[in-house]
Chain A
Amino acid sequence: MEHQHKEHALLAEDFNANEPRVNWHDETLWWIRQKRDKIAWSIPEWEELRETASRIKHNVLGNLHDYLLEFERKAQENGAIVHWAANADEHNKIVLQLLQEQGVKRMVKSKSMLTEECHLNPYLAEHGIEVVDTDLGERIVQLAKEPPSHIVLPCIHKKKEEIGELFHEHLGTPAGNADPKFLTAAARQHLRKEFIQSRVAITGVNFAVAETGEMVVCTNEGNADMGAHLADVHIACMGIEKIIPQRKHLGVFLRLLARSATGQPITTYSSHFRSPKAGQQLHIVLVDNGRSRQLGREDFRNSLKCIRCGACMNTCPVYRRSGGHSYHNAIAGPIGAILAPNLDMKEYADLPFASTLCGSCSNVCPVKIDIHQQLYKWRQVITQEGHAKKTKAAGMHAMNIVLSKPGLYKTAGGVGRWVMRTFPAVVNNGMNPWFKQREMPAPPKQSFADWYKKNRPE
């Protein structure tokens, strides 16, 4: 786990240096969790809907091969051109080639976590092409030269004053104006120009229907539609797990997605792209990037059911108090922590440990991914594959020796209430982190075992 960048715990510690800001971040996301609860309670069949969505997705996992072929065939019949990318690099190359064919140097993109995962923007920048992110939150973090900190709320970590500053610098708004209405209007004007000028638009995909070959893209802002309908070339990038079997299944997922994400009944726009408009090219890039491997991991394949609603982040007490960037991955939070190790186990070995395993994530998940169970299982795999720190491993072995031998346990405990001294010792960084902001219980005169022996003699 020795990396170039800091691990989650240290990044989270940095985030916690400003406690009022942590409180603000926590309260903002908790408010969204409460909105989700409120709207879920307005649907009496909510839990059955979750179960149904989970089962549809299970059917998808078991038939993904055939569904992808069916989707490809239908999409081609609809007039789309389908590309397949084994990994991020191939995805980026396909997109670059399409852009070079068009000779464009600047284009618009609506929200796509897949392109974040593939690091498309920096790749295209290296090749002289500028991507303009058009989701307001994504545009804000792009101007700040930061990655999104949340998959649905990309700049949830930013204060409006900071956004006002950014807009002042980049869009020429008056200094000191941090009114969300005013700033949104400024972004609308700025991005309208981009939409009008752009000849190519990249969008993500929320759902791709095998039966019809169509793709559904959900936004509140209308940016995907503004981009795609004005462009000569629409490039839709999607992970292969976005497939659903039939059109009627959209009914289930569209009921769950926005309610789980932000507590809205549905996003403002749920756009169904089937065939390109007259004279337009529609390219669909199907990306694997580790998904077929994850499909083969029985303990982890359910993570592919994810519909990217972000509910697990909003409910996660650790995410709320450590911020999205502490996960140093395109997808943060509990779901990011179970997806990332599949991409690079060593790089993301810290993430499954960035959880108390409280289980709230699994309960809000609209497709019932057993997120906290998978976090536990990743911990085992990461340790077995040799990615645990040596000091931690040594501590665990020492702990095991004591706990496996009653005699040794009794002596160790008797000598100095061993247990809580061993816990911190496995960190081995010269100080005992328990005591930084906490006291230890005063050691009692005798252990329970000793008391029992005296008071309940056989």
Chain B
Amino acid sequence: MSRESILAAIKNNQPDHQALPDLHTFRRPNTGDPAAFKKVVETLGGQVFEIGSYTEIQPLIAEHYTDLNKVVAIQDSYLPGAATQWETGDGRQLEDVDLAIIPGQFGVAENGAIWITENEVKVRVLPFITQHLAVVVAAKDILATMHDAYEERIVRPESGFGVFIAGPSKTADIEQSLVLGAHGAKSLTVFLYTPKP
């Protein structure tokens, strides 16, 4: 068994224990800035709309997208009349989804990343296979740094799969020319939500 020989070699060869460094100096609790978040998402090629109610989503979509045949909305309130029965299958049933509107748990201002888990999207491949992705995230859920994310919001995994998504899928593999839309979603829209009083 290689397992035992590998472990034995490691045990024999590993250096003395050294303590883990303290990370708390990197924390910036309660300083997440939605404006900074918005700016970073835009530099990553995403677009951000500030909304005060989910009812604003539909007109914005009508204005900014064309040729939407199949739209998946995780909450009915995002887009009344969106596709139904999309959850059944191994993921391939989503091959023809043009737009998916999903909730994000929180966003990170320093890098524009939004945390999304299987619990919300139900089918893991949804945010990747859809041609276009829209994420609804509350402005109050913008954190400052990745340290705040891991130490405040996702200390433990709460689902089998979770992902930080920052901007649309992209590549610069051909002569370092940035092209949006590699294999995942070709565009990313963020609805930054601040409920109206």
**Chain A contact surface mostly:** helix
Closest Cβ of chain A: how far from B95's Cβ, in Å?
6
**A296 & B7 in contact (Cβ 8 Å cutoff):** no
| Chain B positions within 8 Å of A158 at CB level | 174-175
Contact with B along A171-213 (1 / 0, CB 8 A): 0000000001101110110011001100000000000000010
**Chain A: interface residue total (CB-CB under 8 A):** 93
* Among listed B14-22, B52-60, B134-142, interface-contacting one: B14-22
Q: Nearest chain-A residue to B186 (Cβ)?
A: A188
Give the number of residue pairs across the A-B interface with Cβ within 8 Å.
257
B163–A180 CB distance below 8 A: no
A304 to chain B, nearest CB (A): 10
Residue with the greatest number of chain A CB neighbours at <10 A, chosen from B16, B26, B118, B173: B173
Q: What secondary structure prevails in chain B residues at the interface with A?
A: loop
Check if A1 is an interface residue, CB within 8 A of chain B.
no
Q: Are A274 and B91 in contact (CB under 8 A)?
A: no
Nearest CB in chain B to that of A195: its residue: B183
**B69 close to chain A: CB less than 8 A:** no
By the criterion CB–CB under 8 Å, are B173 and A247 in contact? no
Report the bound CA distance from A317 to B163 in whole Å: 36
Residues in A neighbouring B170, C-beta threshold 8 A: 220-221, 268
Distance from A25 Cβ to chain B, minimum over Cβ atoms (Å): 11
Query: Contact between B169 and A268 (Cβ–Cβ < 8 Å)?
Result: yes
Decide if B110 is an interface residue (CB 8 Å cutoff). Answer: yes
Does A160 reach chain B (CB closer than 8 Å)?
Answer: yes
In the complex, the answer to whether B157 meets A212 with C-beta atoms within 8 Å is yes
Render B145-162 as a binary contact track against A, CB cut-off 8 A, 1 for contact. Answer: 111011100111101111
27 contacts between A and B (CB under 8 A): A28-B175, A58-B15, A65-B7, A68-B7, A86-B2, A159-B175, A214-B157, A220-B182, A221-B184, A222-B128, A222-B182, A222-B185, A229-B129, A232-B90, A245-B20, A248-B151, A266-B164, A268-B165, A272-B162, A274-B162, A275-B160, A276-B160, A277-B118, A288-B6, A292-B10, A295-B14, A301-B13
User: Footprint of B on A, CB under 8 Å?
Assistant: 28, 31-32, 45, 48-49, 51-52, 55-56, 58-59, 61-65, 68-69, 78, 84-86, 90, 134-137, 140, 153-156, 158-160, 163, 180-181, 183-185, 187-188, 191-192, 195-196, 212, 214, 220-223, 225-226, 229-230, 232, 240, 245, 247-252, 254-255, 262, 264-277, 279, 286, 288, 292-293, 295-296, 298, 301
